[in-house]
Structures are given as structure tokens and as C-alpha cells.
Amino acid sequence: MTSDCQKLSSVLQLWDKSLVLERLRQMRNTQTMAELQLQSPGRQPTIRDVAELAGVATSTVSRALSNPGRVNRVTRERIEEAAAQLNYIPSSQARGLSSGRTQTVAVLVPDITNPFYFDIIRGAQHQLKAAGYTQLLVDTEESAEMEADALQKMRRSADGFILAASRLTDAQLAEAAAQQPLVTINRAPAIAPTVVIDTPSAIIQALEHLVSLGHTRICFVGGPATSWSNAKRWQAFQDETAERKLTTFSVGPFPPKTTSGAAAADAAVHTGATACIVFNDLLAIGMLQRLRERGIRVPEDMSIVGCDDIFGADFCNPPLTTMASPIEQAGRVAVSMLLSRLNPQYGGTSRRLAVMPTHLTVRASTGAAPS
């Protein structure tokens, strides 16, 4: 290593100078690097260690690592080698402090244990990782307050936000959107850039499917009142059923969990409907369980259509007819939209709206209407 350095120094004629500097540093600290490392083995190498080892200034190291084009290839390679040798990782804190960016995006979901969000999380994670960002996952527990709180508290620690199925009011959302870059998933596009999963059009497919099976009395089982998707689905349901002159009912709102399925099932049965379109699969699966308990056969006595095609929809009993959508892709697209806003220089079409297609996946929970 010494011979390497000397070789370098003869080329660069900086050896004396850096020797002197090093000497000074040592005197200031009254301890050598080795001693330092010895006394605190956990000490992380800094950009200065790299600069010293490579025989250049710290600014050169910085530029070599974060703006490779601006530095001589040979020098850059030398620096990279030094960095590798020291196992150097830049401190994201320090980097963020001076650059003003954290290279971090917060993803807020209402319920981390709801399988619907897994794929969003995973999709977002993939895309973020590819862009060198870190994902901060926050479970807002279906609470608008926690969501607003997280948005405030993390203002400084995230460059942007992905709000999946936000529970905020339009006003709150608009305020948040004004303060920091954010992209919503399944939320009115007017307020902020958004990725919408086109379940309304799937509702139409579902109704067509049910009608073709002879159903005329159909019940909408509603999800959370603060959910924009729920409102949209309900709207589509109303519009479409009115056009077809069907007899409709609605029950709810219910929390989107399997445990709410029992109440939802009982309420739906009580309406006298022969088919249900359910806010989401979680609720639908819960209903399936309750109906089975009560001896109501699915689909012979009652048809059920869920929404989202989550993990479990294919192996529940009976397997659930549901409206499937490319959820992971929605997560990816949301991140792309956010990143193109965060780094406009990389261009990318800054769309304000992306619509994900959906389709009906027919399984065994729907059948001919009871005669």
C-alpha cells in the first residue's frame, strides 16, 4: 500500500502536502487513525478517510462518487478502490443535510395486515429501490388523524409520500399536497396526482355477470364511509343498476376486515337480495364464513362478488369471484409518478392520473339465481 501511495504521490506531487496535513490532523487529535479505530471499532470510515487513502481532497471524492462524469476516470477508479477497501458507505444523514433531500419516500397505508396493500407495498418497494430510494412504511390504522399526523411529522424525513387509500378529507389532502410532493392511490385525481384502480368499470362487469346469471335483486355491501373507492364503487353500482332497472339494496358501512363479515352477511341476507357486490375481498371472505355457518349456500342461495382479488380469494371456500387489478403495478406507477415530480430533470411524463385496468375473475362464489 505504501508503495502504491508513493507511486501516486510522484505522479501528483501532493504527497508532501498530504503528509503534512495528516501530521497536523494527528497532532490535533493526538492519536493516529489506527488508535482511533482501535478505541472505537464501530467507527465508520468517512469521506475524509477515503480522500486520504486515495490522496485527493474530500470534494473530489464527493464528486467522484455522486457525479462520476466530472472526475477523471483514473482518479475516480482510484477513489472507488479506496472506498471499497475501507468499506465506505456515505452517511445518508450528512448527505441529506447538505443536499436537502433524504432519498426516502414514505408509503402510508391504512392497514398493513390487509393483503390488498402487500402488493402495493412490494410494487413501491421495487420501484423505489431501483431508483436508489428507501421506503418508509407507515400503518395509519384506518385513521385520518394518524395519517395527517404522519404526514406532518415525516415532512422533514421524506422527500415525498404515497398515500394508499387515504382517509383524509379533500381539504386535508389538498393542504398536505400543497406542503409536500405526494401521490395518492385510489383517490380523486383533482387534488393530487393519483393512481386509480378502475373498479367502477369492474362493477359493471360484475353486474353484467350477475344479471346474465338471472339475478335481479342485488345488494351492495359498503366499506368505510371515508373511503373514496367505496364512494366510487357505490356510485357505479347505483348508476349501472338504475339503467338496468334492477332492484337494489345496500348495507354498511362496514370496516374492511374479515371480522366484519358476519354482520355484513346477516344484513345482506336480511335484505332478501340473491347476490352481493362486496366492497372488498376481506369483507367478502368474512361473509362467506358467516353464510356457511348459517347454512346459507354459496352460490346456490346467494352469490358473492368481492373486489381486489387479494391473497386468499382463490383458496377460500368457495373460491371468490372478484374484481382483479394489477395492484403491484399500481404501487410501481405511483412511485414513478412521484419520482418524476421529485426529479424533473429526468423527465418522465408527469401525468397527474393513471388508471389501472381491472377485470372480473369468475370463480365459484357466483352462480345462477335461486329460482
Partner DNA sequence: CAATTTTTGGCAATCGCTTGTCATTGCTGT
Partner DNA sequence: ACAGCAATGACAAGCGATTGCCAAAAATTG
Q: For binding to DNA (CB under 7 A), which residues are involved?
A: 12, 14, 17, 44, 46-48, 56-60, 62-67, 70-72, 75, 88, 90-91, 94-95, 97-100
CB neighbour list of residue 345: distance below 8 Å, 6 or more residues apart: none
In the list its own copies, DNA, none, the entry touching 62 (Cβ below 5 to 8 angstroms by class) is DNA
- Figure out which of the listed residues 9, 37, 58, 96 binds its own copies, where binding follows CB under 8 A: 96
**Of DNA, its own copies, none, which one sits near residue 14, judging by CB under 5 to 8 A according to partner kind?**
DNA
Among 19, 38, 94, 353, which residue interacts with its own copies (rule: CB under 8 A)? 94
Q: Please tell me the number of Cα atoms within 13 Å of 349 on its side-chain side.
A: 5
Of the listed pieces 63-71, 111-119, 333-341, 353-361, which binds its own copies according to CB under 8 A?
Answer: 111-119
Please enumerate in sequence order all residues whose Cβ is within 8 A of that of 264, keeping only pairs 6 or more positions apart, or say none. 221, 251, 252, 254, 278, 283, 286, 287, 290
Query: What cell was used for 174?
Result: 389538498
Residues paired with residue 53 on neighbouring β-strands, in sequence order: none
Binds 157, which of its own copies, DNA, none (CB < 5 to 8 A, cut-off by type)? its own copies
Binding site partner of 318, from DNA, its own copies, none, Cβ cut-off 5-8 A by kind = its own copies
CA–CA distance, 233 with 165 (Å, rounded to integer) = 13
Q: How far apart are the first and last CA of the chain?
A: 88
Should residue 148 be labelled a site residue for its own copies when binding is judged by CB under 8 A?
Answer: no
User: Residue 77 CB, nearest distance to DNA (Å)?
Assistant: 11
Q: Name which of residues 323 to 342 contact its own copies (CB under 8 A).
A: none
| Four-point Cα dihedral 142, 143, 149, 154, nearest 10 | 0
Instruction: Identify the helix (H) or strand (E) that includes residue 27.
Output: helix 15-29
- Where along the sequence are the contacts to its own copies (CB under 8 A)? 41-42, 44, 87, 89-94, 96-97, 102, 112-113, 115, 118-119, 121-122, 125, 134-139, 152-157, 178-180, 258, 285, 288-289, 311-312, 314-318
